[in-house]
Structure 1
Amino acid sequence: MMQPALILVVDDDPTNFDVIETLLDGQDYRLLYVNSGDGAIAALEHLEPDLILLDVMMPGLNGLEVCRRIKAMPTGATIPIIMVTALCEKRDLADGFSAGANDFISKPINRIELLARVRSMLQLREQYKQLQGFNTRLEATVQMRTAQLQALSIKLLEAQETERRFLAHELHDEIGQALTAIKINLRRLERVTTPQASEPLEDCLALVDGTLQQVRNISLDLRPSMLDDLGLVPTLRWYINRHAKRTGLQTTLTCELLAQRLPIATETACFRIVQEALTNIARHAQAQMVAVTLTQTDHTLHLTIQDDGVGFDQSNLSRAKGTSLGILGMEERGTLIGGQLNIASAPGQGTRIALQVPLATSV
């Protein structure tokens, strides 16, 4: 069963409290009296009234100052305050509203007016409580849905990596072996073919060689097996050297990690982020040099990719995120392993991508 609304009456004259108590007699309210502004502020440290009736003219802290201080308190900002005053000038009312008062009632107090204003403020308070409860439930729902979406994203990425691994295996073992067998048979035909067929045969051999190389490249780009077998650092060294030969970029890798393997999800995310970053640099940055750094300090993994390319205006980053699946993908991968990815750039000063990932103490 809900308790009756609690009304805090702040007045240095106890007679005024008796008047208010009499006027509210018969109403389902609980009344609490304090005789000073300091007492009111102290009372709010251990209780939260539903309404405050606050006298303006008090010795020490006057009602306006008390109102300001209450509204500055975390719990006091939402408590309705009715100023009780004999002052009725417009300037006095303006000062009260500036201090945070929600309403005024003039002395001598009229019972009908008091009841109407108290009911109005208590309804306001109840509406706030309902809204606060709704917001709390909404925040809990959003947190739950966010957690569910993150879990789903992790499963989707895991499924994607599993499918990549399967396709890479199929390309390398099945299609690659079939093409190799075709090449062997074509080589055997070289010994028995007529001179007229030698040129088409050489064309077929060249096509098979080119297709075999494409199959190997696609297989390696899908999922290099060494990432599972040897770990992140050897895979990055291999991939960066391979990428440098393809693009002509001068790419360096600096690693300062402990001997133990990182979690497989972290290794996969870091590799994919480097892969995406180097692809973007080759396409858009017009860079000459790229430095990839992987270090571990205080149980935190630090991955940075720095280029000396043309860079871009940082104010356009939000727009770039909205149109670039690559940037969004890098950020999502970093988030899903508990990390944070930041991108810094300026025209003519290159671009820096930095990822920080907290690691378990056992790593």
Structure 2
Amino acid sequence: MDPVVQSILIGTVILTLMGFSVVGFVIYYQRKQFKSQRDLIQLKEAHQKQMLSNSLAVQEVVRRKISNDLHDEIGGLLSATKLSISSLSKQVDASVLERVNHSKQLVTEALSQVRSLSRDLIPRTLEKFGLELAIQEFIQKMEEAASLEFHFSHEDDLKRFHPDLELAAYRIIQELTNNSLKHAEASLIEIDLRVISEKLQIKFTDNGKGFDLASVLSSEKEGLGLGNIFSRLSVIDGEYTFNSNKNSGVEYLISIPQKA
């Protein structure tokens, strides 16, 4: 073979190999960069999720602290005041007895409200007996306090779940109910609890005026309740779908995986 042609062929092969090497390096580098960016995104999402989880945990700690202070400190003082007034009523003249009894009635009402607020902050029924009874207690209180009717259905012998799951589900139902009452002006709420495919399914519907999600979320004030719900669901890997149109109520379907 002509030495010149041989040199050209060798040069061509070398250049081709160098080209393949460069292309291979570029592909490898891009894949590595893509993997790094993907890992960075995943790390950022995990960090945000942990921060959110910590924030919710702190909220519950603060709720418990306030609840205990209300129950033990304020409740104790009001109970002592009630006993003192009761003792005083036996020693006063008839002319002031009515005022003393009225004061006792006010203290009794205040004591009842403090105990109720304490229970609202920390749902002790939830901790002791589980989601089913806690929701029934919440519904009873809401029906007494507002012109609101509930239909609550669930599986027979609904089992206990992980405490984090039960608390998240309870808070979500609270938030949805508050939204239905304050914003949707609903008169009927239906709640259904089922376990489907190893997940707790919550179906929540109301007959309120409905909403447009985009417009609600664009308003910080109006969207805050939904934001709290979405935040809780993201921490526990929950999923949701919903259907709502103006003047046609709303339906949420929430799915929460069970924890070991």
Residue 211 of structure 2: aligned partner: 312
- The aligned length equals 256
Query: Residue 225 of structure 1 aligns to which amino acid in structure 2?
Result: R
Residue 17 of structure 2: aligned partner: 30
Residue 83 of structure 1: aligned partner: none
Matching of residue 276 in structure 1 with residue 178 in structure 2: no
Residue 290 of structure 1: aligned partner: 189
Q: CA deviation at 1:26?
A: 8.3
Which of these residues, 128, 133, 157, is aligned with residue 234 of structure 1?
A: 133
Distance 2:158 2:208 in 1: 33
Residue 45 of structure 2: aligned partner: 146
Q: CA deviation at 1:233?
A: 0.6
Matching of residue 244 in structure 1 with residue 143 in structure 2: yes
Alignment of 1:169-180 (within 5 A): 169-180=68-79
Alignment of 1:174-213 (within 5 A): 174-213=73-112
Q: CA deviation at 1:203?
A: 4.1
Summarize the Cα distance change of 1:300–1:170 in structure 2 as closer, same or farther, 3 Å threshold: same
Contact 2:132 2:158 in 1 (8 A): no
Distance 2:18 2:183 in 1: 71
Contact 1:314 1:344 in 2 (8 A): no
Alignment of 1:210-221 (within 5 A): 210-221=109-120
Q: Alignment RMSD, CA only?
A: 3.0
Choose between structure 1 and 2 for higher RCO, CA contacts under 8 A separated by at least 6 residues. 2
Contact 2:165 2:258 in 1 (8 A): no
Residue 251 of structure 2: aligned partner: 352
Contact 1:294 1:301 in 2 (8 A): yes
Residue 265 of structure 1: aligned partner: 164
What TM-score, normalized to structure 1?
A: 0.63
Summarize the Cα distance change of 1:31–1:168 in structure 2 as closer, same or farther, 3 Å threshold: closer
Distance 1:23 1:333 in 2: 66
Per the alignment, in what secondary structure is the counterpart of residue 192 of structure 1?
coil
Distance 1:306 1:321 in 2: 23
- Greater helix fraction, Structure 1 or Structure 2: 2
Q: Deviations over 1:98-145 (max 9, x none)?
A: xxxxxxxxxxxxxxxxxxxxxxxx68x866765553332122112112
Per the alignment, in what secondary structure is the counterpart of residue 150 of structure 1?
helix
Query: Residue 262 of structure 1 aligns to which amino acid in structure 2?
Result: F
Per the alignment, in what secondary structure is the counterpart of residue 248 of structure 1?
coil
Contact 1:258 1:296 in 2 (8 A): no
Distance 2:52 2:11 in 1: 59
Matching of residue 162 in structure 1 with residue 61 in structure 2: yes
Per the alignment, in what secondary structure is the counterpart of residue 243 of structure 2?
strand
Alignment of 1:96-175 (within 5 A): 130=29, 132-175=31-74
Larger radius of gyration: 1
Percent identical across equivalent pairs?
24
Distance 1:335 1:250 in 2: 30
For structure 2, which runs of at least 5 residues remain unmatched after alignment?
Answer: none
Distance 1:155 1:275 in 2: 20
